[in-house]
């Protein structure tokens, strides 16, 4: 006699709501869990591709903004370039521009240009000026710095001295928005945390530049820069650019 009785297996299902439907399917799918794995792998891959596409799109828009924006600003500010050059020549002669080695993304060095706002012997006198009037920690900043010319005080207050850096934005060494590029001697004193500032292309303005500029201590600057890096977006850059205008016109923290 043939016994048609089928062996019964008791399956203890978890309480409803404690696990997802996909987890139950994978566990009790009668050998079909491999199909679930394929499906989940596809979903994960789709999410990764979508994220990579969003990042690439954001980088494309950011670079487009840099090229178009810097080109427009270079043309629009050309009269300011002329008047600033004449003011520097009349007060202190040549050179009109000052170049300095700066550290860009991933530690790459480049030569950055700006309008000269200090006397020609400023670098030589720097070591003589270490005092309690210095601020910034790693960054050398000094209120009422005697090395700054009368023209220099004006163009620094309004950030006109940094206008030549629009050319670096156009060529790709800088971005309109990003952490300010440090000098190599500053980077040599960076901690591992501080070096996170070098993970992106440096820029003309960023969060701490619109939040008090040089009045903000170095550690706070680093934290604000890293927070920007984590949250950066095309729209966020546009907002920071608009916030930069009143921050520059107020002159707060500029010295």
**In a domain? residue 79:** yes
At residue 87, the pLDDT reads 96
For residue 38, list its beta bridge partners.
none
At residue 49, the pLDDT reads 65
- Which residues does 80 contact at the CB level (< 8 Å), separation at least 6? 160, 163
**In a domain? residue 202:** yes
Distance between CA atoms of residues 102 and 121, nearest Å: 20
The DSSP line for 73-107 is: HHHHTHHHHHHHHHHHHHHH-S-SEEEEEEE-GGG
At residue 101, the pLDDT reads 95
**In a domain? residue 140:** yes
**In a domain? residue 203:** yes
At residue 47, the pLDDT reads 65
Burial status of residue 78 (CB atoms within 10 A of its CB: 0-12, 13-18, 19 or more): exposed
**In a domain? residue 255:** no
Location of structure tokens 């670098």 = 123
Write down the pTM of the prediction.
0.72
Q: Looking at the 3D structure of the chain, how many domains does it have?
A: 1
**In a domain? residue 61:** no
**In a domain? residue 114:** yes
At residue 141, the pLDDT reads 61
Distance between CA atoms of residues 171 and 169, nearest Å: 5
| Under-50 pLDDT residues of the chain | 1-14, 16-17, 19, 24-25, 28-30, 132, 135-136
For residue 110, list its beta bridge partners.
102
**In a domain? residue 46:** no
> Containing domain of residue 158, as a range?
68-250
At residue 146, the pLDDT reads 80
């Amino acid at each position: 006699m043939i016994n048609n009785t089928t062996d019964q297996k008791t399956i203890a299902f978890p309480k409803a709501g404690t696990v997802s439907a996909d987890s139950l399917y994978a566990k009790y799918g009668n050998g079909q869990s491999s199909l679930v794995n394929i499906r989940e792998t596809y979903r994960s891959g789709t999410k990764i591709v979508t994220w990579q596409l969003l990042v690439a799109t954001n980088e494309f828009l950011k670079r487009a903004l840099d090229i178009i924006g810097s080109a427009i600003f270079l043309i629009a500010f050309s009269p300011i370039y002329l008047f600033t050059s004449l003011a520097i020549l009349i007060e202190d002669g040549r050179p009109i521009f000052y170049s300095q080695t700066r550290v860009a993304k991933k530690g790459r060095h480049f030569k950055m240009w700006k309008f000269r706002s200090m006397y020609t012997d400023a670098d030589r006198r720097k070591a003589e000026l270490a005092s309690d009037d210095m601020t910034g920690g790693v960054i050398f900043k000094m209120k009422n710095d005697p090395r700054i010319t009368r023209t220099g005080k004006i163009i620094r207050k309004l950030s006109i001295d940094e206008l030549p850096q629009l050319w670096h934005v156009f060529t790709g060494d800088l971005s309109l928005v990003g952490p300010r590029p440090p000098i190599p001697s500053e980077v040599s004193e960076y901690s591992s945390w501080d070096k996170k500032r070098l993970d992106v292309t440096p820029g003309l303005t960023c969060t701490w530049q619109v939040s008090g500029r040089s009045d903000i201590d170095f550690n706070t600057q680093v934290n604000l820069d890293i927070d920007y890096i984590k949250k950066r977006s095309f729209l966020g850059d546009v907002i920071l650019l608009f916030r930069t205008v009143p921050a520059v016109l107020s002159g707060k923290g500029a010295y």
